[in-house]
Structure formats: C-alpha cells, structure tokens
Structure 1
Amino acid sequence: MADIPEYCQVLEVAAADGSIKKLIFPKALDLNRPKRPRTTFSKEQLIILKREFDRNPYLIGKERKELAKKLELTETQASFISFIFDKNVSNFR
C-alpha cells in the first residue's frame, strides 16, 4: 500500500472470504464515536404524527415543540419530526 497521508487512518477489516481489507478514512472522521440511537415511535405516536401531517404537512418551530410535548419526545427527537415531515412533503410532490 502506498504511503498514507498524515491526515488519514487505516482500518483493517476481515472480508467475507477471510482476507484482510485495509480501508482508509480521514482522521477527522471519528470512528470510535458512539452512534446516536435510532428514534423509534410507538403505534400511538405514529398515529398522531400521521394525523398531524395530514392536517398540515408544513411544521414550524412552535408547532413542532407542541407536537413533541404531546408525544413526550426530547428536543433531539422533535427535530427528527421536522425531518420526517420534510421528507414526506418531498415524496408527495
């Protein structure tokens, strides 16, 4: 393997055939950082989210906070609601 730049790191992983593969990533990419847990919603929360989206697909800050409070979500999870709404709006176009 050629010289690896100082700003890169090498991660060795076992391939399906048992061989060792070397992957090169920038050091700025923190591979040891724990991943954010996936947000899962209960059936009741999904029903409320669907109803709110059908009523108004464009969610603004105040409405998002009220919906998050109704669903008992954290602020991080509440920002995820906006992402879901935005994605659904783009799917309906």
Structure 2
Amino acid sequence: MMTQPHERRLLDQIERELRVADPGFAERMTRARPLTRVRAWMSFHRALGVVAAFLALLCLVLGEGAGFIVSGLIAGALLVSTGLKLRTE
C-alpha cells in the first residue's frame, strides 16, 4: 500500500506522539509475533501456493516426476501471482 508523502508525514507524527504518550503500548504495537507476520503475509493464493509446493515435494519423495513438475508449476504460479494486480480502466 503506497501512501502520499503528506499522509506518511502525518502517520509519522501520530506515531511519535504515541511513543511519548504511552511508550509501553507503542512498544507492544511495534513488536510483531512471528505468527502474526505469517498471517499478515498469507493470502488465499499464497496458501494455495504453499499447499501446492508441499504436494510437489510429496510427489518428489514418492518418485512421481510428472506430479512434481505440475505441482511445482502450480505452486510457482500461485506464489508469483499474489503480487500482480489487474488494472481496469
């Protein structure tokens, strides 16, 4: 999410004021747990990509070469497609 420079300055000012007013709360808000970071990163496409990658590895272990290639391609496509956005004008 891109913000405008004036929005960024305003958010920075609010953050500075919060750190002065309640440093403990500000510290808890900036310290993210690992699971919280994973949840923030995870989307439906990424979850499907992770499942497809797991299936690709399972196919590799079980000796199914074609399944590994197909699952790997699906996993790669899903993980890459999460960053793409379609513009409609």
TM-score interval (norm. to shorter) = under 0.3
Could you tell me the TM-score, scaled by structure 2's length?
Answer: 0.28
Compare the two structures and name the one with the higher strand fraction. Answer: 1
Could you tell me the TM-score, scaled by structure 1's length?
Answer: 0.27
Which structure exhibits the higher relative contact order, with contacts defined as CA atoms closer than 8 Å and separated by 6 or more residues? 2
